[in-house]
Amino acid sequence: MALLANFHTHCTFCDGKDTAEDMVREAVRKGFLHLGMSSHADTWFDPDYRMDMKAYLTEIRRLREAYRDRIEILAGVEMDCLSRPEASDGAEYVIGSTHYLDLGDGRYPSVDDTVEIQDRVCREEFGGDYYRYCRAYYDLEAQVVARTKCTFIGHFDLVTRFNEEEPRFDEEDPRYLGPAKEAMRALAEYRLPFEINTGALNRGRRSVPYPAPPLLRYLHELGGEIIINSDAHQKEKLDGAFPEAIRCAIRCGFTHTNILAKDGGKPVFRQIALDRLL
Ligand SMILES: [Zn+2]
Ligand SMILES: [Zn+2]
C-alpha cells in the first residue's frame, strides 16, 4: 500500500500550475483517499500577493461535494510565520511555515526565493556570517506555532533551500545545528507533527527532504510526530518522492506517520505504520 494522501498542495489560487480541480482529479486517478489543499495565505507586507480566500474556500467546498464518494478533500492554508492570524479564517487546517526573515525595520527578505537574495541579506545584515543568518531564521521559526496557530509545521529547515547546490554553511556545524535544534525543541513542546516535505527533493533541488536527516533524527529523539507531504505545485508531483521520504523517516527511527482525516466533521490526526507503505 502506498501513501495515498497529501496535505501540502498548491493550485492556481496561489502559485501552483494546475487548477484545484485538476489536482483533485489527479489525486483520484492516483487512488488517493485524502487531499488537503493549502494555498498560500496573504502576507500583509507583500502588496503584490493577494489570495482570494472567499473564492478559494467556495471552490474547495464545491469540489468536496462533487468528489465526496471518491476522496476526502480538506480546505487548508499555508500561513507564513508573519501572516496575520485572520488570514486563515475559514480554513479547516493550517500549515505554519517560515519563508522570510524579519529584519526589525519593516523589511522581510525571503529565505527561499533566490540564493542572490540570501547572499545580499547575509552580507548586508549579518556581516556575511551565514550562521548568524540561520540563527535569525530559527529564532523566527521557533515562534511559528504561537504566531500561526498551525495544525502542523511546514518545511522546518527551509533556510537550507540552496545549500546543497550552492553551499554557504556546514549543516553539521554546531553553529548551525545548535539554533536549529533549539527551535525544534521549543516547537516539539506543542506536540504537533512536523511535516517531512519532499518539495525540493521532488524537483531535484535537494537529495534529502525537509527536515534533513540529522534534524529528523533529533525530532524522533524528542518524541516528535511527522506528516509526509509533497508541497506539490503541479499535479504530476502530488506524491513525488514519497517512497524516499518514507525510507528516510524509517532510517531516522520513526515507525509511523500521520494523515489528517475527518472525525465528526473535524480533521484529526490518524497514525499510519510506515512499514505498510513500502
Ligand atoms: Zn512554504
Ligand atoms: Zn507550500
- Find the 4 Cα to ligand 2 centroid distance in Å: 19
Ligand nearest to the CA of 112: 1
Nearest listed ligand to the Cα of residue 8? 2
- CATH topology classification for 5-277: TIM Barrel (3.20.20)
pLDDT averaged per 10 residues in sequence order, the chain, 278 residues:
96 97 98 98 86 97 98 98 94 98 96 97 98 98 98 98 97 98 98 98 95 98 98 97 98 98 95 96
Q: Where are the domains of the chain?
A: 5-277
pLDDT of residue 46: 83
Which listed ligand is nearest to 39 at the C-alpha? 2
In angstroms, what is the span from residue 69 Cα to ligand 1's centroid?
30
Contact 192, 198 (CB under 8 A): no
Which set of grid coordinates corresponds to residue 192? 504537533
**Residue 123 C-alpha to ligand 2 middle, in angstroms?**
27
Q: How close is the Cα of 111 to the center of ligand 1, in Å?
A: 11
Q: For residue 44, what pLDDT is reported?
A: 84
Alpha carbon of 10 to ligand 1 centroid (Å): 10
Map the chain to HEC letters: CCCCEECCECCCCCCCCCCHHHHHHHHHHCCCCEEEEEEECCCCCCCCCCCCHHHHHHHHHHHHHHCCCCCEEEEEEEEECCCCHHHHCCCCEEEEECCECCCCCCCCCECCCCHHHHHHHHHHHHCCCHHHHHHHHHHHHCCHHHHHCCCEECCCCHHHCCCCCCCCCCCCCHHHHHHHHHHHHHHHCCCCCEEEECHHHHCCCCCCCECCHHHHHHHHHCCCCEEEECCECCHHHCCCCHHHHHHHHHHCCCCEEEEEEEECCEEEEEEEEHHHHC
Please give all residues whose CB falls under 5 A of ion ligand 2, grouped by chain where several chains appear: 78, 231
The pLDDT assigned to 168 comes to 98
